[in-house]
Amino acid sequence: MDYTTYWTILDSPSHTTKSNSVCLVIAIVAGLIWILTKKFKKDKGDGDKTILLWGTGVFAILGLTFYILLTFFYKDNSDSQTVKMLASPTTPKVEGLVSNFQRKFRNARYSSETIESFTVDSVEFAYGDAALGKFNSFCKINNNIIIDGQKVRVTYRTGSPYGDNFNSILKLEIWK
């Protein structure tokens, strides 16, 4: 069978932002604040400038140290582990035609959420577009890619924030 990968959990924001890049951003921002403080802050003799210089300097040095450690010594191999998990024969997969596709709208206190659900070979899936739901969940809604009768292969995990009878999508492949 010839499928095209439409989406995987590796495409989610929680897998694209790496801890070493966060440390580098912290080091750069703290270093820039240290330079600006050193150059433009006037010393009034109350210790304000010294505290700011020490505080931003510590953040810059720690950020750079952790960046070096996480980049060269403690490399993040979570992507390769996730790829192995998705390819593992123990990870549940289902292949078949999409049926019972539904789009529901749920109003929350300050916003609304669109929840889409469908079934493939009696396995039910649901996903939504909530702000916090976009991390580690499938969230491409209102795109008319998933429709009734579409042939798909879904790699999934049991359980979903949208109900006990639903499953969470880890990888979605669509028949060419």
Per-residue pLDDT of the chain (176 residues; tens, 9 = 90+): 699 988 888 877 667 778 899 999 999 999 999 999 999 988 888 889 999 999 999 999 999 999 999 999 998 888 889 899 999 999 999 999 999 998 888 776 766 777 888 999 999 998 877 654 443 445 555 567 788 999 999 999 998 887 888 998 899 999 98
Q: How far is CA 173 from the centre of its chain?
A: 19
Residue with tokens 């493939």: 120
Domain boundaries, the chain: 3-11+83-175, 19-75
Q: Return the closest-CA partner of residue 169 out of 5, 18, 16, 17.
A: 5
Element (H, E) at 4: strand 3-8
**Which residues, 6 or more positions from 18, have their beta carbon under 8 angstroms from its beta carbon?**
70, 76
Class of domain 3-11+83-175: mainly beta
**Which residues, 6 or more positions from 21, have their beta carbon under 8 angstroms from its beta carbon?**
none
